[in-house]
Amino acid sequence: MNIDKKTQKYDRQLRLWQASGQLALETSKVCLINGTATGCEILKDLILPGIGSFTVVDGERVDGSDAGINFFLDADKIGSSRAQAVTELLQELNEDVKGYHFVEDPVVLIENQPEYFLQFTIVIATELHEKFLLKLAEILWNAKVPLIVVRSIGFIGYFRIVVPEHTVVETHPENVVDLRIDTPFPAIEKYAKNLDFDSLDDTDHAHIPYVIILLKYLDQWKREHDGNLPKTYSEKKEYQSIIARGKRTIDEENFGEALTNAWKACTPNKITREIQEILNDPACENITTKSSSFWIIARAIRDFVTNEGQGLLPLAGSVPDMKSDTTGYITLQTIYRQKAKEDAAAVRARVNDILISIGRTTDFIREEEIDSFCKHAAYIKVIRYRSLQEEYISDPKKSEINRWIQDPQENIIYYVLIRAIDRFYESHQRYPDAATFFNGDNSEEAASEESTTEFKELKTNIQSMLEEWKITNSPEHLDDFIHEMCRAGGSELPNIAALMGGLVSQEAIKLITHQYIPINNTIIFDGVKSTSSTYVL
């Protein structure tokens, strides 16, 4: 067998998102608004793992400060188009990725030709301020194209994911164990029943898989207790001591494993509240031609649960490693896999019925997609994001912000500052930018009139914002944070740009591949304290 170059190159990431995730990446089209240092760092971390293409939309020309902090620029490029210059050097990172640039002011494009942005899989916006940001967000929201809004000011980084709905099947939970000890299906129940422990020699007895041990003694328990599971603490203890009595020697590891897992085995297997909510969701109830494959399969699963599944999800079918001889383990594995296959087949039949009922052909959803859904059914995830319009205008999270802002451990204060800085920018077309904090003991340092004005104006912006949100208690040390933002003067620092590049690219990969769980919905990283906080705003 020959491993092709591409598989070799991507080996270390394929181990995280497999060929299916890679295919999604390789067919994605990513748009970056403004070729800032932060924007280019994000693209770098997306080009390396191999997105299909990227497009940089930027009307600026490279200036001396750009060339100083952006690795994908150098002094020779000063004065030339920033979109073109960064695209050239970013392109070098991966020959399998296509790079495009569009020399145009994004603001003009949003104003005159917003449908331009609908061709992309995802849009990442840096340095875009409130007015045009809201406009772009609305266009993308209506077309269900994910948008990530990114800001990097001084030591502070911020980003926000905006998309109506994001669904994930492969969430990659750390431990998937679904053994159905409490509610054994007929095949496993029969196998456990028919295995006569007493007739085994000592070697075989020490190799009975713990699953069988648990099933055997639980069956015995249920027969002696009107079919009930051990419920109370003392009943569970009693169940454990029955298992312990089954040991022939003190060091039978398989019985040790059974004892460790006994408690969990008595806990009734139930569909979690989160999964039940997904199955009860209106999107699951009302399947139409517009329904995505996620919701169609979810509906089929729901119908499975109320019918063949007898209240349970399709079986995942995986068996963890345990003390056993080869035959015993493989037999057990085969029984679980067989049941999982039968469950998946039943779900597939239901999916096909649904597809036909809405006038679609059955090839609309691939079999592997259904099988994967069945395997991960207990861990699927639906995130409904709030729109920027809700956050900014119709329904700001006033009371939550008020609560968070009183806690000095939180980073929410920087959200308020970034929003206020945006307002400052809209009225001045520049960032607040001055040395405003001075060491009282040092006579050489003193506030100038301009710097005092700068500070006061930003503070006024913040106060009016807090008033709008009906926040009456001024946050602790507010002046310090204002000083810090005036000091930053809207600057980008290479380290924070790189850090945001890592975070945003990671979340973009999750959104593109529909694997792993992205944030909901805002992150603020504070590079002064090296902490991050997530908020639903």
> CA-CA distance, 66 to 36, in Å (whole number)?
7
Interface positions, 312-351, toward other proteins (CB under 8 A): 321-322, 324-326, 329-330
**H or E element that contains 150:** strand 147-153
Residue 278: phi and psi, rounded to 5, are -65, -45
- x/- contact string, 170-199, with other proteins (CB under 8 A)? -xx---------------------------
Is 99 among the residues that bind other proteins (CB under 8 A)?
Answer: no
**H or E element that contains 305:** helix 293-306
> CA-CA distance, 247 to 185, in Å (whole number)?
26
Query: Closest separation between CB of residue 231 and other proteins, Å?
Result: 32
In the complex with other proteins, which residue's Cβ is closer, 136 or 332? 332
Q: Any idea what the Cα angle at residue 265 is, between residues 264 and 270, rounded to 5°?
A: 85
Q: Any idea what the Cα angle at residue 346 is, between residues 377 and 270, rounded to 5°?
A: 40
Task: Give the tokens for residue 152.
Answer: 């990097």
Is 97 among the residues that bind other proteins (CB under 8 A)?
Answer: no
Is 372 among the residues that bind other proteins (CB under 8 A)?
Answer: no
- DSSP-derived 3-state class of residue 534: strand
Non-local CB neighbours of 388 within 8 Å, separated by 6+ positions: 133, 134, 137, 138, 141, 149, 160, 162
Tell me the angle at which helices 186-194 and 210-224 cross, rounded to the nearest 10 degrees: 90
Query: Closest separation between CB of residue 105 and other proteins, Å?
Result: 21
Q: What is the bridge-based pairing of β-strands 147-153 and 122-126?
A: parallel
DSSP 386: P
Is 49 among the residues that bind other proteins (CB under 8 A)?
Answer: yes
Interface positions, 473-492, toward other proteins (CB under 8 A): 477, 479-481, 483-484, 487-489, 491-492
Q: Which of 498, 511, 512, 537 binds other proteins (CB under 8 A)?
A: 498
In the complex with other proteins, which residue's Cβ is closer, 181 or 499? 499
> CA-CA distance, 251 to 211, in Å (whole number)?
18
| Contact of 262 with 245, CB cutoff 8 Å | no
Query: Closest separation between CB of residue 501 and other proteins, Å?
Result: 5
Query: Closest separation between CB of residue 203 and other proteins, Å?
Result: 10
Q: Which of 274, 367, 438, 474 binds other proteins (CB under 8 A)?
A: 438
Q: Which of 420, 465, 496, 511 binds other proteins (CB under 8 A)?
A: 496
- x/- contact string, 499-518, with other proteins (CB under 8 A)? x-xxx-xxx-x------xxx
> CA-CA distance, 160 to 133, in Å (whole number)?
12
Is 445 among the residues that bind other proteins (CB under 8 A)?
Answer: yes
Interface positions, 197-216, toward other proteins (CB under 8 A): 207
Query: Closest separation between CB of residue 46 and other proteins, Å?
Result: 8
In the complex with other proteins, which residue's Cβ is closer, 204 or 219? 204
Q: What is the bridge-based pairing of β-strands 98-102 and 156-162?
A: unpaired
Residue 208: phi and psi, rounded to 5, are -70, 125
Interface positions, 395-434, toward other proteins (CB under 8 A): 433
Q: What are the C-alpha distances in Å from 530 to residues 42, 102, 408, 409, 502?
A: 20, 36, 14, 12, 15
Interface positions, 11-40, toward other proteins (CB under 8 A): 11-16
In the complex with other proteins, which residue's Cβ is closer, 111 or 438? 438
Is 250 among the residues that bind other proteins (CB under 8 A)?
Answer: no
> CA-CA distance, 91 to 53, in Å (whole number)?
10
DSSP 396: -
Q: Which stretch binds other proteins (CB under 8 A): 5-13, 241-249, 274-282, 350-358?
A: 5-13
Query: Closest separation between CB of residue 66 and other proteins, Å?
Result: 8
Question: Total binding residues for other proteins by CB under 8 A?
Answer: 91
In the complex with other proteins, which residue's Cβ is closer, 450 or 480? 480
In the complex with other proteins, which residue's Cβ is closer, 281 or 433? 433
